[in-house]
């Protein structure tokens, strides 16, 4: 309904009604001027005729504002103060208030319903509010038409729990078309092996994608001048193959590199959503163990993938992903072990090359292996698959396309950390 008092003064409306009563102006023109319908018009004319002197188009609300309970007031205040303590902590990645998260917590944990404007109003009253900075619009957006056309892969290093002693790494893979998060894990230390495990999970569970999209981190890319320390360089940028890139080469997967953080906006936004809620949830639970934080992360990923409508696609990521798959509009291809490889351990592994000596032995980190059928004075490749739980690695020996056998060694003896 049009609010007449915002467009006209009392005297202006009274004058129009007097002219109408004197039949100097027709009703339909007066309705058009005031922007009201017939019923509202006759109601106002009746009020004017009954008391022209006291008539007023201004009104006051006679419906009292609904008050919330004292218990709810205290819960809102408690959650706002918790948010404030996280923001003021320089070691956490939380930089702004998340009132939607507070609303969800009140509904899920306290079983109390409250509107978002009410929470924001209480935030302003309790000095727990500041407007967000205006985000810069980026135009370096990667557009895809199929699942598997591009997988955005990245890691983030933050103190995800204010009660944890150390910062953790969040490694995530996201399908660009559907925004479906294929992989997400928290690790204490970022290594090439952790990123290779992410590749293995995605390829074995969803298939082999067309390409990956990453930044220029040293795990993904060799950059001359940054990753080399000698003045006389023998390898230029991309002429050295990092461990992670070698796995992609074996799987015939393309890789593209983002030249700026803005270019990776699609994965940065889900990261922001996950980080905000992960930090807040870990703070509420007093999490100190990365394994417990992983449980919380799994719940958040489930919410994001299966329940939340993405702001850009206007669809739930899983629904969008599955619909395209059912319609056979996907570029994921079935993963298979191609010759000469015999096992997934020959593909998803760490690699090293060593020269065979006259005794058919090779050494790595002062640890010797005897490879009885290896050719003397030739280089053979070691494909290493370490296990965290057992602390052991399986070392598989290859010469060109010929499998030479396998041996077991301790991770510590191989110095897996160097990979």
Q: ω before 340 within 30° of 0 (cis)?
A: yes
Q: What angle do CA 125, 272, 192 make, to 5 degrees?
A: 150
At residue 64, the pLDDT reads: 59
**Other beta carbons less than 10 A from residue 152's beta carbon:** 26
pLDDT tens digits along 106-147: 998 899 999 999 999 999 999 998 876 665 554 445 479 999
Q: What angle do CA 29, 31, 33 make, to 5 degrees?
A: 70
153 strand-pairing partners: 173
Class of domain 151-326: alpha beta
**What pLDDT band is residue 1 in, cutting at 50, 70 and 90?**
very low
Mean of pLDDT values over 38-59: 86
Print burial letters for 225-243: b (CB count within 10 Å at least 16), e (below 16): eeebeeeeeeeeeeeeebb
Mean of pLDDT over the chain: 87
pLDDT tens digits along 254-278: 999 887 655 555 556 677 788 889 9
pLDDT at 224 exceeding the cut of 80: no
Mean of pLDDT values over 325-344: 94
Give the range with max mean pLDDT: 57-61, 205-209, 257-261, 305-309. 205-209
Residue spans per domain, the chain: 4-50, 70-125, 151-326, 344-418
pTM: 0.76
Sheet-wide strand order for 151-158: 181-187, 168-175, 151-158, 211-214, 254-257
Tokens representing residue 104 in the block? 């969800």
At residue 6, the pLDDT reads: 74
């Amino acid at each position: 309904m049009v609010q007449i008092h915002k467009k006209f003064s009392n005297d202006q409306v009274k004058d129009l009604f007097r002219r109408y009563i004197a039949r100097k102006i027709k009703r339909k023109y007066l309705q058009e001027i005031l922007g009201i319908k017939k019923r509202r018009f006759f109601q106002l004319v009746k009020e004017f005729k009954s008391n022209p002197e006291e008539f007023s188009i201004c009104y006051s609300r006679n419906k009292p504002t609904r008050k919330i309970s004292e218990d709810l007031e205290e819960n809102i205040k408690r959650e706002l103060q918790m948010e404030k303590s996280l923001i003021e902590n320089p070691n956490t990645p939380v930089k702004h208030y998340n009132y939607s998260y507070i609303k969800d917590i009140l509904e899920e944990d306290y079983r109390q319903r409250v509107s978002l404007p009410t929470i924001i109003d209480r935030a302003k009253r309790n000095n727990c509010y500041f407007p967000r900075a205006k985000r810069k619009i980026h135009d370096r957006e990667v557009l895809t038409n199929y699942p598997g056309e591009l997988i955005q892969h990245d890691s983030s290093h933050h103190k995800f729990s204010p009660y944890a002693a150390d910062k953790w790494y969040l490694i995530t893979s996201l399908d660009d078309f559907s925004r479906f998060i294929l992989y997400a894990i928290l690790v204490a230390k970022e290594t090439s092996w952790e990123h290779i495990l992410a590749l293995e999970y995605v390829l074995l569970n969803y298939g082999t994608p067309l390409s990956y999209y990453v930044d220029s981190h040293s795990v993904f890319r060799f950059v001359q001048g940054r990753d080399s320390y000698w003045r006389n360089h023998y390898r230029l940028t991309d002429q050295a193959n990092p461990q992670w890139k070698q796995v992609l080469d074996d799987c015939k997967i393309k890789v593209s590199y983002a030249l700026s953080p803005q270019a990776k906006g699609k994965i940065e936004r889900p990261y922001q959503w996950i980080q905000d809620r992960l930090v807040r949830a870990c703070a509420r639970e007093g999490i100190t163990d990365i394994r417990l934080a992983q449980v919380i992360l799994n719940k958040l990923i489930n919410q994001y993938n299966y329940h939340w409508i993405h702001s850009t696609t206007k669809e739930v990521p899983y629904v969008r992903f599955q619909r395209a798959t059912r319609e056979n509009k996907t570029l994921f291809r079935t993963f298979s072990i191609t010759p000469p490889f015999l096992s997934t351990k020959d593909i998803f592994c760490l690699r090293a090359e060593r020269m065979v000596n006259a005794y058919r032995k090779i050494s790595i980190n002062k640890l010797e292996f005897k490879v009885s059928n290896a050719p003397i004075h030739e280089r053979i490749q070691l494909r290493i698959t370490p296990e965290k739980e057992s602390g052991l690695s399986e070392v598989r020996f290859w010469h060109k396309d010929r499998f030479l056998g396998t041996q077991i060694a301790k991770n510590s003896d191989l110095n897996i950390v160097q990979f």
